[in-house]
Amino acid sequence: MSNEELVKLLQDGKPEYIPQLWDQVYRFICLLAKKRLIGEAEHIKKLEDDLVNESYFDFLKA
**What predicted TM-score, i.e. pTM, was given to this entire model?**
0.77
HSE-CB of 17 using CA atoms within 13 angstroms: 15
Domain ranges of the chain: 3-61
Task: Look at residue 56 in the predicted model and tell me its pLDDT.
Answer: 94
What does the DSSP assignment read for the chain? --HHHHHHHHHTT-GGGHHHHHHHHHHHHHHHHHHHTTTS-HHHHTTHHHHHHHHHHHHHH-
- One digit per residue, the tens of pLDDT, for the chain of length 62 reads 999 999 999 999 999 999 999 999 999 999 999 999 999 898 888 899 999 999 999 999 88
**Hey, what amino acid is at 62?**
A
Task: Look at residue 23 in the predicted model and tell me its pLDDT.
Answer: 95
